Amino acid sequence: MDLRESLTNQNEIVLSLFQHVIATTTAGKTSNLLFSPALLNVILSFIAAKSPGDIEEKILSLLHASSTDELNTVSSKIVTTVLADSTSIGGPTIAAANGAWLEKTVPVEPSFKGIIENSYKAAFNLVDFRNKVHEVVEEVNSWVENETRGLITNLIPKNSVSSDSNLIFANALFFNGRWDHEFDPSLTKDSNFHRLDGTTARVPFMSGHSFKYSLVAYEGFKVLDLPYRGGRGDYARCFSMQIYLPGEKDGLHALLERLACCRGFLSGQGDIPGHSASIGELRIPRFKFEFGFMATEALEGLGLELPDDTIIHKSYIEVDEVGSKAAAAAAVIGLGGCYMPPKEKYDFVADHPFLFLVRENMSGLVLFLGQVTDPSMH
């Protein structure tokens, strides 16, 4: 099994899923949104492992995987390798963890327990849903809060789990990376950000030295790559944030529609032609927000019905001159570039709604994907 090939296949649903997140969220088109494709795909892989039959086949088809063994192996490599902490070598601080809470009166197949502990590296907990369901929810929420350094709280609402539940599988991700080239805070100035409804908000914009960053220009949009410190010396992994800026001030959702229809774009295999470009003026807003949604509803838009499962997801991000800090948690409750010197310079002024993602470039894993429609909203 080739990890990058498997993740390339899994990335095919990421942008379409984001469209359904927007569609199933109140004010989704005009809200700041964020979710973790990495966490949701691990959750789906786990559901496939516990649901042999029709649901398993649908998830394998959705993630373009050959077997649940492949999904289990990919999930294991994500937790142990791609999302291993790199603080000690000067890279991003990363914490990724899985946890499983199972009803103690329900027999557990040894093979299933082995998958939970070995493939998903998950903490295995036998609990009392029947008599102490609120305590179980508190335990899971405390685990999530601890794993995300306090950024994700109360992931599971109190009344969303009943005494009939048999299982909660949760995962959590914390990421804190410093820019390879930090922005000078003295250059940060307030300026207008143009919202989708035509109004403006005064927000702080960071300014950077344009020669330190890479830009690819496409027809109708530009993609800025902001590498995180430590990636370049760590040859196994390289983390960066990419910002997708439409040319039109109200072009965010047309851009998303276009990218979602382009097979392989997130993995660098799309057929939208682009070229490396120099950067003229470079301004990016600081932003910070959190977002939560019911992932089960968004997945229904992709044709995946999970009648016995509910998937909850929450995430947080903060981007400033030093770097970015982000966290996410999810739970299922069951019942080639051109290196010629570019001639033309392009300004990259992100003063209107844009997409962004945080990814690990060697494997192609997308840790976070979001949109900023109003940086003044926290």
One-letter amino acid of 344: E
- Angle, in degrees to the nearest 10, between helices 54-62 and 37-50: 150
**CA geometry: angle 62, 144, 179, nearest 5 deg:** 80
Q: What is the pLDDT, as a whole number, of residue 231?
A: 52
Contact 93, 137 (CB under 8 A): no
Q: What is the pLDDT, as a whole number, of residue 378?
A: 78
d(CA 230, CA 58): 39
Contact 101, 140 (CB under 8 A): yes
**CA geometry: angle 80, 14, 217, nearest 5 deg:** 105
How much is the CA Rg of the chain, to the nearest whole Å? Answer: 21
Q: Identify the three-state secondary structure at position 104.
A: coil
Displacement of CA 258 from its chain's centroid (Å): 20
Is the domain spanning 185-284+338-372 CATH 3.20.20.70? The answer is no
- One-character DSSP codes across 35-94: E-HHHHHHHHHHHHHH-TTHHHHHHHHHTT-S-HHHHHHHHHHIIIIIT---GGGTS-EE
Residue-range domain boundaries for the chain: 3-178+288-334, 185-284+338-372
The first and second tokens of residue 162, run together, are 């009943």
The pairing of beta strand 345-349 with beta strand 274-285: parallel
Per-residue pLDDT of the chain (378 residues; tens, 9 = 90+): 689 999 999 999 999 999 999 999 877 788 999 999 999 999 999 999 999 999 999 999 999 999 999 999 999 999 999 999 999 988 999 999 999 999 999 998 899 999 999 999 999 999 999 999 999 999 999 999 999 999 999 999 988 999 999 999 999 999 999 999 999 999 999 999 999 999 999 999 999 876 778 999 999 999 999 999 975 544 568 999 999 999 999 999 999 999 999 888 888 777 788 999 999 999 999 999 999 999 999 999 999 999 999 999 999 999 999 999 999 999 999 873 233 344 578 899 999 999 999 999 999 999 999 999 999 987
Q: What is the pLDDT, as a whole number, of residue 257?
A: 95
The first and second tokens of residue 71, run together, are 């999904």
Contacts (Cβ under 8 Å, ≥6 apart) of 4: 362, 363, 364
Q: What is the pLDDT, as a whole number, of residue 233?
A: 47
d(CA 75, CA 313): 18
Q: What is the pLDDT, as a whole number, of residue 1?
A: 66
- What is this structure's pTM? 0.94
Q: What is the pLDDT, as a whole number, of residue 97?
A: 96
Record: fold of 3-178+288-334? Antithrombin; Chain I, domain 2 (3.30.497)
d(CA 376, CA 189): 14
